[in-house]
Amino acid sequence: MSIKAMRLTHNMYRNQNCNLFGLTEGQLRFEDIVHNGSWYNDRGEKLGWGDLNPQDLKNIANGLVEGESFYILSESVSYWAFVTKVNSDLSHEVLPDVTSPGIDFVQKHAIFLIEPNKVSVIFDRRYYSDEQIKKSVGYYQDRVPDVTVVAGYRQSGEL
């Protein structure tokens, strides 16, 4: 089994003993870039969820090994889209594939794709102008030093 297959595994952050990249399940961060986002591997399996700040993005990018990919999805797409019922006690019933929606779903909805030493901010060209994209990438470049930050694009759900 390769290092890649062993490191980024389904629900790995549910085990509170896992802190790869300095992350923990349900973490709260001051000055977060992503609030309650979900984190996925390149098989479309959920690794964990929580806030991410610029240092987290840098730690992930610097900690990934060749061939690994780390996707980040927003809370609304990665959790609330799977909720089928909110109970009177405010607990939620969710679809069974909430933690493993598959790589097609993850690529279609990713807001960040992190690879070794690289953070891609994902945009849908239908909704963002070149000027908005340039400004946004500059924002992340200023906050995630020593890592290459680029724009990634999706059109109709493709990266």
Whole-number pLDDT of residue 157: 46
Question: Residue 79: how many CB atoms within 10 A of its CB?
Answer: 19
Q: What residue spans define the domains of the chain?
A: 3-24+35-46+57-131+140-154
Q: At a CB cut-off of 8 Å and minimum separation 6, what does 56 contact? A: 21, 22, 23, 29
Phi, psi of 59 (to 5 degrees): -60, -40
Give me the sign of the Cα torsion angle 41, 145, 37, 127.
Answer: negative
- DSSP code, position 13: G
How far apart are alpha carbons 64 and 66 in whole angstroms? 7
Q: 74: which 2 tokens?
A: 């927003």
Whole-number pLDDT of residue 49: 93
How far apart are alpha carbons 50 and 98 in whole angstroms? 15
Number of residues that this document lists for the chain = 159
Whole-number pLDDT of residue 96: 62
> How far apart, in Å, are the Cα atoms of 73 and each of 1, 10, 17, 53, 108?
27, 15, 23, 14, 10
Whole-number pLDDT of residue 158: 47
Whole-number pLDDT of residue 23: 95
Phi, psi of 49 (to 5 degrees): -155, 160
- Per-residue pLDDT of the chain in tens (159 residues, 90 and over written 9): 455 447 899 888 887 778 899 999 999 998 898 999 999 999 999 999 999 999 999 999 999 999 999 999 988 787 667 667 777 777 777 666 667 788 998 998 899 999 999 999 998 877 888 898 889 898 888 888 888 998 888 755 444
